[in-house]
Amino acid sequence: MSLPSGFRLFPTSLLALLLGATAPLAAGSSPAEQLLQLNRPLVIAHRGYPAVAPENTLPSFALALQAGADLVELDYHLSLDGVAVVMHDPTLDRTTDAKARWNAKDIRLADRTVAELQTLDAGAWFQPRFAATPPPLLTEALDLINQTGITLIERKAGDAASCVQLLRARALINRVVVQSFDWAYLRDFHALAPEQVLGALGPRGRADGRPLTPEEKILGPAHLDEIAALGARVAVWSKDVTRESVQQAHARGLKVWVYSINEPAPFLELLALGVDGFITNRTPLLWKTLATRPAAPPTAP
């Protein structure tokens, strides 16, 4: 699929360079490792740039790159014939014309072949100018994003081996970051590709389905110990983190990223706690907030 006319991709690091926010990187380290070495917060585009383009589509990813995202996050499921297709929901109703096209509702992505899925319109629901935008294959999204940026892949369905195989075939191991709420998947992935940077999403729900208490949602030592043990490098959490959470993560050599931060106030509050990365629907706003935040008061002699 071609992108809308006028799109031109620039290196993702351009805005960070203009802000003077980059740090020296280790020679020969992979792009994913380099991100973890930066001494500034990361700005991560959630499903691309869904404030201005339909989520999880190629135009949305291209606009997120233009906005200077450090990583561009996406979600994937597997089609009936086992192809990784980019979409957040397991069903097709919300972000495609499947309901009207096939005269049915709650159609599962996993129940349709990739050929069927690519006949869908995943853009017109957002704005008419995005009409005829199909759901992208994961390979198409990687080809676009990794021209100039880094993809944050969230696995929604599928086994670790197939994802490892796909990334190895395209020489993308550690040129992306992989995350999931399924920590068993991450453990399997780490066993197959221990060099790959992984993010453990949380908080996870309870096995018995009971809602988590506020205390259970907070990123704590038990979570961090399990994350480190399964081989992940990043705790990717809700806003339920504390200064102690971040300090305890850093003591274990882990980074903390939070989702989804779309306003300046919570961004600045979490930044003050030492959070390392922010997943957002509004990439330019977070960059502007970072660039224009009040200077810290001088330290007393």
Q: Report the predicted TM-score, pTM, of the whole model to 2 decimal places.
A: 0.91
Count of positions (residues) in the chain = 301
Contact 65, 299 (CB under 8 A): no
Q: Is residue 104 assigned to a domain?
A: no
| Model pLDDT, residue 242 | 98
Q: pLDDT for 204-213, tens place per residue?
A: 988 888 999 9
| Model pLDDT, residue 15 | 45
pLDDT surpasses 60 at 6: no
- What are the angstrom distances between the C-alpha of 120 and each of 84, 85, 96, 266? 16, 12, 6, 37
Q: Is residue 229 assigned to a domain?
A: yes
Instruction: Provide the domain count of the chain.
Output: 1
Q: CA dihedral defined by 37, 38, 41, 45, rounded to 10 degrees?
A: -80
Partners of 155 in beta bridges: 76
Q: Is residue 131 assigned to a domain?
A: no
How far apart, in whole angstroms, are the C-alpha atoms of residue 21 and residue 44?
15
Q: Is residue 255 assigned to a domain?
A: yes
Q: Is residue 249 assigned to a domain?
A: yes
Domain residue limits at 233 = 14-75+150-291
Q: Is residue 26 assigned to a domain?
A: yes
Q: Take residue 140 and report the two structure tokens written for it.
A: 């198409």
CATH of the domain at 161: 3.20.20.190
- What are the angstrom distances between the C-alpha of 195 and each of 14, 27, 80? 27, 17, 30
Residue 97 parent element (H or E): none
Instruction: Find, among 184, 181, 169, 83, the residue nearest to 134 by Cα.
Output: 83
Q: Is residue 88 assigned to a domain?
A: no
Q: Is residue 9 assigned to a domain?
A: no
How far apart, in whole angstroms, are the C-alpha atoms of residue 160 and residue 191?
10
